[in-house]
Structure 1
């Protein structure tokens, strides 16, 4: 509660500030106490600012990590010396690169609202 020293009135939260302004010698023409942004819009903006990634982003990130690990596992299965077989030189690196493409896509995809 704030005491108005000039006019001797007391304001509460429930009373609009326009009431005090109306009793002043120079009253403004229009006093708008409502904001143009609704409360739900404020919550949506705050939620969007708090979480940069959505559920879909995290699922894709985990899938990409799984694909990368599978590619390294495939490379380790190669029976040729120093991994110079088909699994170590061709299939494994292709799977790893596809995992990195999934990771790149997971970071850039826009989360659903």
Structure 2
């Protein structure tokens, strides 16, 4: 007779890793929200808002920071 041992399934990441991942997703989402908009309803009128510092500097920076946070969350030790 073989003894069947039930093993408790383990998650790949710990709770801390998932929290850090959520923070990274918030940064990425905020970056894409800041990038959106700036279009004109009339195609014959050019809108200068497309060159706003928020879309050119802030939004891509937030997305890159969010991606760096995601990489850290994946590589962080879950048992720490």
TM-score, normalising length: structure 1: 0.51
Match of 1:87 among 39, 50, 54: 54
The equivalent position to 1:69 in structure 2, one of 29, 35, 40, is 29
The answer to whether residue 15 in structure 2 is matched with residue 55 in structure 1 is yes
Q: Is the 8 A contact 1:56 1:111 kept in 2?
A: yes
Instruction: Verify the 8 A CA contact 1:77 1:87 in the aligned structure 2.
Output: no
1:108 paired with 2:75, answer: yes
Question: 3-state DSSP class of the match of 1:50?
Answer: coil
Larger radius of gyration, structure 1 or 2?
A: 1
CA distance in 1, matches of 2:38, 2:28: 16
Counting matched residue pairs gives 68
Partners of 1:74 and 1:67 in 2: how far apart? 11
Aligned-partner Cα distance in 1 for 2:70–2:18: 10
Higher relative contact order (CA closer than 8 Å, sequence separation 6+): 2
Unpaired runs of at least 5, structure 1: 2-45
- Measured on the aligned residues, the alpha-carbon RMSD in Å equals 2.7
Q: Please, which runs of 5 or more residues in structure 2 have no aligned partner?
A: 2-6, 40-46
